[in-house]
Each structure stands twice: as structure tokens, then as C-alpha cells.
Amino acid sequence: SSGINAECPLRPGENAGRVRARHNYADGSSGDWYAGCDDHFNGPAAGAICRSMGFRHGKQVTADKKMKPISGLPFGITNIFCYHDDTLIMSPSCNADKYGQLGWPICTPEEQIAVQCFNEMWKVDVGFSMVERSGKMFCPVKVLKKEKSTDCDSALIPLL
């Protein structure tokens, strides 16, 4: 089937990384890998990219010095944004323009899209116990354990 293959090489334990993509064609061939420029990129688009890779949620992150740009990767798309947070990147409620087509400013390698993917918005075990202080009862909350998400792999995103 045809579609876009997106990958996200993640930093261990953080589920965060730069995104690369390529077109897969109906004849089984694939195009070259390319990056997306982060101009107009938004949170719903980050979530859509993460959902297309098997996660439930995602957010746009600012790449720090540890998250280096993917070397030698040309830009293929820009102005990637979605209007809704519960969609896939190929949905009609998302936009992506071919890089350079509309005469947008040139993007630098540091502007490659970066996302953090996760499955649970909040997943914590909470303990409650009643405590008396100065003749009044209080119920302090203690966070006992945080859970981490699974690793990111590649996925085939169908073209609409």
C-alpha cells in the first residue's frame, strides 16, 4: 500500500527525537528520507505524528544540544499543523506543504521537527492516609510510582 513511513530515533528513556519520513509507493518502492521544518508546527501535529507511530499522545519539543539534527537529511515538508488533537497526520484536518514550493524562508538543520511520544497523559500510583494536625484531619497525597512509555518504532501512514 502507499503511504508515508515516519520514524523517530528516540533518546533512551525519553521517547523524544527528531522525525524523518519518506513516501512509500503502491509498487513497493520508497522515496528518499526527508525532514519536516518546524515552521508553524504545533502540538496537535506532534500528537498526530506520534499516533501514526503507535503512540496515543505526543507533544512538540524544543530540541536541546543532546538532540542533534539528523545529518545530511534534506527538508521535504514545512508548515505542518493540525486543527484537532485527535487525528492522524494524513487527516484532512492537518496541513503540510512541500518544502520550497511556497517560497517560505529557508530552514536550518536545527529546525528539524522534534517530538516526544507517550501513551499515558498521567499514570501514577497515589497513596492516601489521614493525618491529624492541630486537631484537624488532613489527607496528604503521595506519588508512589511513575510509569514510562514504550519505545518508538516506525509505522506506515496511509495516504488519503
3-state secondary structure of 93: coil
Q: Give the containing element (helix H, strand E) for 115.
A: strand 114-118
Q: Given a cut of 90, is residue 115 above it in pLDDT?
A: yes
Residue 96 cell numbers, joined: 503540510
Distance, CA of 101 to CA of 2 (rounded, Å):
23
Q: pLDDT grade, residue 106 (50/70/90)?
A: confident
Helix (H) or strand (E) holding 111: none
The answer to which of 65-69, 117-121, 134-138, 156-160 has the lowest mean pLDDT is 156-160
Q: Which residue has the higher pLDDT, 1 or 137?
A: 137
Q: How far apart are CA 89 and CA 67, in angstroms?
A: 23
pLDDT of residue 100: 84
CB 123 within 8 A of CB 144: no
Closest by CA position to 20, among listed 33, 3, 4: 33
> Which position has the higher pLDDT, 136 or 123?
136
Q: Identify the burial level of 105 via C-beta atoms within 10 angstroms of its C-beta, where 0-12 means exposed, 13-18 middle and 19 or more buried.
A: exposed
The pLDDT value given to residue 25: 85
Tell me the pLDDT of the chain averaged across its residues.
77
pLDDT (tens digit per residue) in 54-71: 889 999 998 877 788 888
**pLDDT, tens digit, 9 for 90 and up, residues 3-44:** 666 666 666 677 888 998 888 888 989 889 999 999 999 999
Residue 149 pLDDT > 80, yes or no?
no
Considering only residues 64 and 50, tell me which one the structure prediction assigns the higher pLDDT: 50
At 150 the three-state DSSP class reads coil
C-alpha cell at 59: 507533544
pTM, two decimal places? 0.70
